[in-house]
Amino acid sequence: MLDFEISEEQKMMVQSIGRFAQEKMRQVFREADEEEKVPDDLIQSGWDFGILSSAIPLQYGGFGEYSVLTGVLAFEELAYGDLAIALNLMTPSVFAVPIMLSGTDGQKQRYLPYCCSEHPPRLTAALTEPRIQFDPRCPETVAQRENGTYYLNGVKSLVPLALEAENFLVYANEGGMTQAFVLDRHSEGLAVLEKEKLMGIHALPMFRLKLEDCPVKPEQKLGGKSGIDFDEILNHSRVALAAAAVGVARAGYEYSREYAKNRIQFGEAVARRQSIAFMLAEMAIEIDAARLLVWEAAWKLDLGLKINQEATLMKYYVDRMVMKVADSAVQILGGYGYSREFPVELWLRNARGFASFDGLAMA
Amino acid sequence: MLDFEISEEQKMMVQSIGRFAQEKMRQVFREADEEEKVPDDLIQSGWDFGILSSAIPLQYGGFGEYSVLTGVLAFEELAYGDLAIALNLMTPSVFAVPIMLSGTDGQKQRYLPYCCSEHPPRLTAALTEPRIQFDPRCPETVAQRENGTYYLNGVKSLVPLALEAENFLVYANEGGMTQAFVLDRHSEGLAVLEKEKLMGIHALPMFRLKLEDCPVKPEQKLGGKSGIDFDEILNHSRVALAAAAVGVARAGYEYSREYAKNRIQFGEAVARRQSIAFMLAEMAIEIDAARLLVWEAAWKLDLGLKINQEATLMKYYVDRMVMKVADSAVQILGGYGYSREFPVELWLRNARGFASFDGLAMA
Amino acid sequence: MINFAIPEKITRELELANMVASQVMRSKSRYYDVNEHERPWEYINIMWPVLKGQNKRRFEAAGDDQLPEKGQTRTTALRLVLLVETLSWGDAGQYLCTPDSALGGAAIEAVGTEDQKTRFLKRFTEGEAKWGAMAMTEPGAGSDTSAIKTTAALDKESNEWILNGEKIFCTNGSLALEESEGFVVVWATVDPTSGRSGMKPFVVEAGTPGVYIAKLEEKLGIKASDTASIVFDDARIPNDNLLGSAEIQTQDSKTTKGFKGAMKTFDLSRPVVAASAMGVARAALETTQELLAAEGINVDYTTPLFRLSAVERDLIEMQAVHKAAWLLTLRAA
Amino acid sequence: MINFAIPEKITRELELANMVASQVMRSKSRYYDVNEHERPWEYINIMWPVLKGQNKRRFEAAGDDQLPEKGQTRTTALRLVLLVETLSWGDAGQYLCTPDSALGGAAIEAVGTEDQKTRFLKRFTEGEAKWGAMAMTEPGAGSDTSAIKTTAALDKESNEWILNGEKIFCTNGSLALEESEGFVVVWATVDPTSGRSGMKPFVVEAGTPGVYIAKLEEKLGIKASDTASIVFDDARIPNDNLLGSAEIQTQDSKTTKGFKGAMKTFDLSRPVVAASAMGVARAALETTQELLAAEGINVDYTTPLFRLSAVERDLIEMQAVHKAAWLLTLRAA
C-alpha cells in the first residue's frame, strides 16, 4: 500500500547524517572547495556511519542490510552537507556496489571484506570518457581478449581519488557491451594522468586514466564469464546521484528561503514579494517531486525490477530541477548570490555537473 | 544605418489598419468565430485598403510598391484585430505573392490584374497535407509528367476558402523538389472535400482537397520550366504568419494588461502584484523581440537575401512566444480567461495553430 | 515504510471506471464539446445508481458514529483521486457532471449537525440523480474570497435568513438548483463590517424562491460542465440552513472558523482537482504516444540524451513531468 | 525607415577590439580566473592609450559646446554597445577593468559643472591609466537604493563634506581609489529624514583620508574585475565635490532630482550591461557550435522541426533567443 513515510530506523539515520552535514560538513565545505581536499578526519567520521558496510552481506563482513532506498536517503543528507565531500567519502561504493550486484563469489570474497574495514578502502571506478558524445552504454575504451587475457585500451576521465586508489573498476566495451574489469594500480599499461580541472566539486580530486594494452586476467572481469548487467549498475549510479542532486537543491532552497525571510528591502522581507515567494514555492515543489521520483526508482531497484524508463525520466527531471533550484537560490540572494562569501554560488557550480556525473556514486 | 523606426507612410497605414482592427474587426470577431464566417462587407472594407494591389507591379494593374516589411506591418495590425478574419481577408495573397515572386510573365499577366480588382478575387493555395510529419519541402502530393502533361495525386489539408475558389495554387513534389501548379476549380480529378474542424481560426473556412490523376498543362506550372524557389516562397509565408502571431500576442498582452490594471483584489489592482506585473513585463519583452526578428527577416527579404536561417530562428521563437503570451493573458484574467465572454480564450486557440499554419498567409 | 504500490483491490475497483471512461465518456466527448450545456446523461445514468448505493451504505454506516482509522481515510482519499483521474482521462467535462453532493456536501459533512446531514444529504441515497454545489466566487471576489459581498440577514420574525447577492463560476449550480432536487452551499456575510469572520455557509435548496440562474458560462472547454451565475434576490431560507454557528468571531480570535472552514473545504478538494488535471494530461500524453508510435516514433530509454531526436526528448520530458506531478498528487491524497 | 544594417564604418572600427578580444583577452582568460584580483595589465595597457586619445579629442571638442545631433548620439551609443559586446566576448572580467571614468564619469558629465568636469575628467586624457567608479549599493540597500545610510554632513567651518558609511559591490572601487589617480562618485544622504530627495552624489578622489577599501569581493566569476567594499570614516572632501545642488527638494516636488539623476545614470548603463551579457552569450554559443561541428553536428535550417535531433533543436533555440536578445539590445542602444 502506498506510503510516503520513511521508517523510524531510516528517520534516525537521516537525522544523524543530517546533523553531521550541518555541524561538520558545512564547517569545512568552502575551505575544502578552495583547497581541493577534504580533511582526513572528516572523511573518517563520515565513514564511521558505516553506510557502505551496513549494505554488504554478512558473509563478507558487513551488516547485510542492503537497501537502495536507505542508500539514497543517506546520499541526500550527505549532499545536503556538501556534494564533493559526500562523493569523496562514498567513493569506495562505486567499486563495491557493482561487486555486490554483479561480482562472482570469488570477487566478492576478495574485495567486499576490505570495504568493511575501519578506514575507507582505496577503491575507485572509471566509467566516463573525455568526449562530448560519451555514451556509457557504448564506451570507446575497449577490452579485447587475446590468448586468454583481456587487453584494455582507452582514456577514462573523472576518475575520483585515482591518485591514491589501490584498485580500479574500469568499464570497457567488450564486443558492444559495457563490461567492468578490476585493475590493480600497478597494472601494466595503466597510468593516472593529470588532475581534472572542473567548475565544481573541487573537494573530490578526479583524474584521467590511460589504459594502453593493459593486460587483465579473465577472473578480473566483473561477474566472470557472463559479465554484468550494465544497465542495472548504471541505474544504481543514477539513483544515487539523483538523490545527491535533491540534497544540493534542498541546501540551496533552504538557504535562500531563510535569506529571503530575513533580508529587508522596501520595508519588508523580500520573501513577501511574489517574485521571490513564488520562486521559493516552485523550488519546494520541484524538490519534492524529484525526491519522489528518486524514491520510486530506488524502491523498484530494491524489488529487483528493471528501471531503465524510471531512471531515464528521473535523471531528466532531476538534472534540470537541480540547476533551476540552484540558480534560483543565487538569484534570490541578489548580489550576494555571486559572492563566494555565500554558499549558493558553490551549489550552482556543483549542480551543473549532474548531467555528466554518471558513475561518480552508487547506491 | 540601424533604424528601428518605420516610415511616416508606414505609420499612417498602420494607424488606419489599426483603427479598422479596433473598430470593425473587434466588433464581429466573436460572432465570426462562432458562425464560422465573416460578413462580406467587412472583407470588402479590408480589401479596400489595397494591401495586395499596392504590392502588385504597375504593369499588372497594381501600384508597384511591393515591400515585405510593409506587408508584415499590415499583417500584425490585421491579426491584432482578429487572426481568422485577417487570414480570410488576405487569402488571395497566398495565390498572388508566389505568382509575383516566381511566375512567368504569362502567368503574371493572366492572374495579377485579377488580384487588383475592386472585389477580392477567389484565389487560394494548397500547401499543407494531413500528416503529423508533413514537411513542406517534401510533400507527398506528387506531380508526374507524362506525355507533356503533369498529373497530380495527393491530399491537401487546410486549404482556405476552397469552396468558393476559382483557382488553386497547389504545391506538389516533382522529383524531390516542391513545385507549384495553378489549377482551375473545374480541373478534372480535383475535388474539394470536407471542411476542416479546428481548434481555432473558425472564421477562415478551410477544406481538404483531393487530387486524383489531375492533369495540369506545363504552362500552369509556376515559373514555367525552371519552376520556383520554394524556400523563398515558404519564407515569405513564414514572415507573414510570424507578423500575424505578433499581432495576436499583442492583442492578448494589451487586453490582459488593461484587465490587470482595473481588476481590484485584496484592495489593489492585480497588476500591482509582482506575479502579474512580471508576467506582463515578460510578455512585452517577448513581443518586442519577436517583432524585431520578423522585421529583420522581412527587411532581408526586401533586399533579396536568402533567409532560411533567419526564418527558422524567427519561426521557432515566434511560435513559442505567441503561445506563452496568449496563455499568460488567459492566466491573468483568472476564471474570466476561460470564459468565451472574454476574448483571450479565442486568442489562445488561434495562437496554438501557428506551428502548423505554413502557407496560410504571404507577405 | 516507503511503498509506491497501489493495492490491487483499488486497481480492480477502477476497472468499471475505466470502462465508463473509455467507452461511455470518450465516445461522447466531441458531442458535448460541440453541444454546450447539454448534459451527459449516458454518463450520469451509469454513475448515479452506483453512487447512490455507495452513499446509502456510507450514510447508514455513519449512524455507527465510528471515526475512520487513519489508514482507512488514506485509502478513501487514494481511491477518490484514482477514480477522478480515470474519469477525467475519459472526459473532464463529463466527469464534472458526476451526480454528487461535491464541495457543498463536504462542507455539510465537515460542520453540519446530524439533523442537517439528514436533511441535505439523505437525498443522495435515493430517487433521481442530484447535485450539490458550492458558491463562493463573486464578480468582485475571485482570488480574494474574503471580499464577498453576498449578504445574509436574519429575519427574526420568520426565523429565516434573507440572502442577497450574486455568485459566479458555481460548478453544477444549475444542476443543483434547477435540474435536480439538490442544493448549493452559499457563502455569505452576516456582517459586512467584520471581514472574514462574518462569512458563513448557508444551504440553499433547489426551488427556493428568489434564487435564479442568471447565466450559464460559455467556456473554452469542459463545455458539458455547468458553470452557473446565481442571483439571490431576497431569497429566504430557514434559520437552520446556516452551517455552523451564527456567532461572529472577533478579528483577533485565533479561530476565524467560518472562513477557515471554507478554506479547509477547498484544501481537501485540491488533490481531487489535481487528479482531474492529471487525467487530462495522461489522455494527451497517451494519445500523443499512440499517434507517434503509428509513425514509428517510440522512446528508447537507453538512448543517450545527445542522440535523441527532439520529439523523443519531448516525450521524455512529457513523461517525466507527468510522473513528477502524479507522484505529488498521490502524496497529497 | 527600418534598417538592420550596421554601418561598415563601425564594423571596421571593431576590428581592433576583435583582435584584442581574441588574442589578448582570450589567451589570459583562464589565468585571471584562477588568479583572482590580479589586474589584466596586458589588456589595460593596450586600451589606455587608445581611450586616452579618444578622451582627449572628446574633451577638447566639448569646449565647442555643440550639442551632438540625434543621429550622432545614436551612433555613439551603437558603437559603445558593439564594442562592449566584442570585448566581453573576449572576457567579461577583463572588460570590466577597462580604464575609464565609467558610471562615475557619466554622472559628472550629466550634472557636473564645467569646473568639475575639468577637475575630475581631464585626468583621463593624460598620464597613467585611471579609473572612475560609482558607489551606490550598501549592505542594507540593494534593490532598494533609496535605503542608503551613508551620510554627508557639511562642515561649514572647513567648507567640507564629511562622509560616513559603507558601500559595497563597487566595480573598480579599488582601481579608482587605490590603484590609480581616479575617483568614485559616492551617493550619500545629506538628510536621512528626507528620503530619496536627500540623496546626493559626491566625488571622492583617490588618496582621500578616511576612505578605505575594506574588502575585495571573491566571486563566482569575472574574477579579474575588482568589486570593492569601501568604508568612509569621517572622510572629508571639498564642498564643491558635490555634484548638483545641495538643496533638498521637498517630497512633493516633482523633481526628486538627486535620486532621479542616479536612476538616469543607471538607465543609460543598461544597454551596455546587456551588451556585455550578449558578448558572453555569443562566446558560449559560438564555442558550442564549434565543438559540435567538430563532432559533425551542424544545424540545417531546412530540416523540419520533427526531424531535428534534440541537440540541433537546442542550437536553434540558443540561436533564436540569442538573436532576439541581441536585437532588443541594439534597439535599446
- With contact defined as 3+ CB pairs under 8 Å, the chains touching A are B, C, D
Say whether pLDDT at B362 is over 60: yes
Alpha helices in chain B (DSSP H): 8-20, 26-35, 40-47, 68-81, 83-89, 91-102, 105-115, 230-262, 274-302, 308-332, 344-351
Nearest CA in chain D to C313: D310
Say whether pLDDT at C23 is over 90: yes
Alpha-carbon radius of gyration of chain C? 22
Question: Touching check for A275 and chain D: CB below 8 Å?
Answer: no
CA angle, corner A342, sides to A336 and A345, nearest 5? 85
Write out chain B residues lying below 8 Å of A273, CB-based. 274
Q: Which grid coordinates belong to C188?
A: 455569505
Q: What is the pLDDT of residues A255-306, one digit of tens each?
A: 999 999 999 999 999 999 999 999 999 999 999 999 999 999 999 999 999 9
Q: Which residue has the cell 593516472?
A: A192
3-state DSSP of chain C:
CCECCCCHHHHHHHHHHHHHHHHHHHHHHHHHHHCCCCCCHHHHHHHHHHHHHHHHHHHHHHCCCCCCCHHHHHHHHHHHHHHHHHHHHHCHHHHHCCCCCHHHHHHHHHHCCHHHHHHHHHHHHCCCCCCEEEECCECCECCCHHHCCCEEEEECCCCEEEEEEEEEEEECHHHHHCCCCCEEEEEEECCHHHHHHHEEEEEEECCCCCEEEEEECCECCCCCCCEEEEEEEEEEEEHHHECCCCCCCCCCCCCCHHHHHHHHHHHHHHHHHHHHHHHHHHHHHHHHHHHHHHCCCCCCCCCCHHHCEHHHHHHHHHHHHHHHHHHHHHHHC
Residue C296 Rama label (left phi>0; alpha psi -120 to 50; beta): left
Write out residues in chain A with pLDDT < 70, as ranges: none
CB–CB contact A278 B275 (8 Å): yes
Number of C-beta neighbours around residue A130 at 10 A? 12
What's the whole-model pTM score?
0.96
pLDDT of residue D266: 63
| Calpha distance A181→A165 (Å, rounded) | 15
pLDDT interval class at D71 (50, 70, 90): low
**Identity of the residue in D218, D291, D295 whose CB atom sits nearest the CB atom of A339:** D218
Residue type, D238: P
| Calpha distance D279→D281 (Å, rounded) | 5
Question: Touching check for A8 and chain C: CB below 8 Å?
Answer: no
- List residues of B whose CB lies inside 8 A of any A CB: 273-275, 278
pLDDT of residue C254: 47
Mutate to test the interface with B, among A265, A266, A275 (most CBs of B within 10 A): A275
**Interval B34-63 mean pLDDT:** 97
DSSP track, A71-109: HHHHHHHHHHH-HHHHHHHTHHHHHHHHHHHH--HHHHH
Half-sphere exposure of B288 (CA within 13 A, CB side): 15
- With contact defined as 3+ CB pairs under 8 Å, the chains touching D are A, B, C
Q: What is the pLDDT of residues D35-45, one digit of tens each?
A: 999 999 999 99
- With contact defined as 3+ CB pairs under 8 Å, the chains touching B are A, C, D
| Calpha distance A313→D167 (Å, rounded) | 47
A175-189, B92-106, C49-63, D172-186, range with the lowest pLDDT: C49-63
Say whether pLDDT at C42 is over 50: yes
Round to the nearest angstrom and report the end-to-end CA distance of chain B. 24
Question: Touching check for C318 and chain D: CB below 8 Å?
Answer: no
pLDDT of residue C245: 86
Write out chain B residues lying below 8 Å of A265, CB-based. none
Tell me the percentage of chain B whose pLDDT exceeds 70: 100
pLDDT of residue B117: 94
CB–CB contact B1 D2 (8 Å): no
CB–CB contact B275 A273 (8 Å): no
| Calpha distance C331→C278 (Å, rounded) | 14
Measure B270 CA to nearest chain A CA, in Å.
Answer: 12
Phi first, then psi, for residue D142 (nearest 5°) are -100, -95
C241-250, C286-295, D113-122, range with the lowest pLDDT: C241-250
Query: Which residues 6+ apart lie within 8 Å of D21 measured at CB?
Result: D86, D87, D89, D90, D91
pLDDT of residue D254: 46
Q: Are C197 and C265 in contact (CB under 8 A)?
A: no
Say whether pLDDT at C158 is over 60: yes
Q: What is the pLDDT of residues C199-253, one digit of tens each?
A: 999 999 999 999 999 999 999 999 999 999 999 999 999 999 999 988 886 554 4
Say whether pLDDT at B326 is over 80: yes
pLDDT of residue D250: 58
**Interval D24-42 mean pLDDT:** 97
Question: Touching check for A194 and chain D: CB below 8 Å?
Answer: no
Q: Mean pLDDT over all residues of chain D?
A: 92
Q: What is the DSSP letter of B3?
A: B
Measure D167 CA to nearest chain A CA, in Å.
Answer: 13
Q: Mean pLDDT over all residues of chain B?
A: 97
Tell me the percentage of chain D whose pLDDT exceeds 70: 91
| Calpha distance A309→A300 (Å, rounded) | 11
**Interval B305-309 mean pLDDT:** 98
Measure A265 CA to nearest chain C CA, in Å.
Answer: 26
Measure C315 CA to nearest chain A CA, in Å.
Answer: 10
Q: Which grid coordinates belong to C179?
A: 435540474
Question: Touching check for C312 and chain D: CB below 8 Å?
Answer: yes
Q: Are B14 and B6 in contact (CB under 8 A)?
A: yes
CA A296 vs. chain centroid, Å, equals 18
pLDDT of residue A167: 98
Q: What is the pLDDT of residues A70-96, one digit of tens each?
A: 999 999 999 999 999 999 999 999 999
Alpha-carbon radius of gyration of chain B? 20
Number of C-beta neighbours around residue A63 at 10 A? 13
In the stretch 59-118 of chain A, residues with CB closer than 8 A to chain C read 69
Say whether pLDDT at D247 is over 90: no
CB–CB contact D304 B133 (8 Å): yes
DSSP track, A271-291: GGSHHHHHHHHHHHHHHHHHH
Say whether pLDDT at B324 is over 80: yes
| Calpha distance A104→C231 (Å, rounded) | 78
Say whether pLDDT at C258 is over 70: no
ipTM of this predicted complex?
0.95
Q: Are B82 and B20 in contact (CB under 8 A)?
A: no
Nearest CA in chain D to B73: D2
Number of C-beta neighbours around residue A345 at 10 A? 23
Q: Mean pLDDT over all residues of chain C?
A: 92
Measure B1 CA to nearest chain D CA, in Å.
Answer: 5
Find residue B154's DSSP bridge partners: B211
pLDDT interval class at D267 (50, 70, 90): low
pLDDT of residue D68: 55
pLDDT interval class at D76 (50, 70, 90): confident
| Calpha distance D230→A51 (Å, rounded) | 48
**Identity of the residue in C137, C140, C292 whose CB atom sits nearest the CB atom of B335:** C137
Measure D30 CA to nearest chain C CA, in Å.
Answer: 28
**Identity of the residue in A265, A330, A349 whose CB atom sits nearest the CB atom of D142:** A265
Q: Are D149 and D138 in contact (CB under 8 A)?
A: yes
Write out chain D residues lying below 8 Å of C296, CB-based. none
In the stretch 117-136 of chain B, residues with CB closer than 8 A to chain C read 132-133
> How many CB contacts within 8 angstroms connect chain A with chain C?
83
DSSP track, B167-197: EEEEEEEETTEEEEEEEETT-TTEEEEEEP-
pLDDT of residue C251: 52
Q: Which grid coordinates belong to D87?
A: 570585448
Say whether pLDDT at D289 is over 60: yes
Say whether pLDDT at C265 is over 90: no
pLDDT interval class at D255 (50, 70, 90): very low
- With contact defined as 3+ CB pairs under 8 Å, the chains touching C are A, B, D
Q: Which grid coordinates belong to B282?
A: 515578460
Question: Touching check for C303 and chain D: CB below 8 Å?
Answer: no
Write out chain A residues lying below 8 Å of B275, CB-based. 274-275, 278
pLDDT interval class at B305 (50, 70, 90): very high
Q: Are C26 and C95 in contact (CB under 8 A)?
A: no
Measure B262 CA to nearest chain C CA, in Å.
Answer: 11
pLDDT of residue C64: 63
| Paired sense of beta strands A264-265 and C199-205, if any | unpaired
> How many CB contacts within 8 angstroms connect chain B with chain C?
37
Find residue A269's DSSP bridge partners: A264
A160-174, B16-30, B40-54, C236-250, range with the lowest pLDDT: C236-250
